[in-house]
Amino acid sequence: MKSYKSRGFPFSSWLYRIARNKVIDFYRTKRESISIDQVDPEVFLAPAIQQFSFDKDIEAERLAQAIQELEPNYQDVVIMRFVEDLTVAETAAALKKSQGSVKVIQHRAIKKLKEILRTD
């Protein structure tokens, strides 16, 4: 809090940037994967209603993996805009970019995500 200096951007953007950097640091140091052998076989024997939920989980996982394949700049914008529900202005402030730049990055990121998801 002592290091915060008002530069015309919302305080929440400053906090978001700190949190974003901490999350990036966390995932850089802790990369683990789960083998299919470690998945409980009961998951595959679930009733139809649970299968629907499982399919949604798989789609969410597939999307998360696709987002990880994006370049970091694209990842930041996609996460801020669609996961964190920040506005274009808030995203621009957090990333220290213009709103127009954020819109262009968002457009390119979505286009790239579509390409990635088509090839999977």
Instruction: Give all domains of the chain, ordered by start, each with its CATH number.
Output: 63-120 (1.10.10.10)
pLDDT tens by residue, 8-24: 767 788 788 888 888 88
Helices (H), 1-120: 11-29, 48-69, 72-78, 88-95, 99-119
**pLDDT tens-digit series, residues 27-70:** 777 666 666 666 665 555 555 455 555 566 677 788 888 888 99
b/e 3-34 (16+ beta carbons within 10 angstroms → b): eeeeeeeeeebbebbeebeeeeeeeeeeeeee
Write down the pTM of the prediction: 0.55
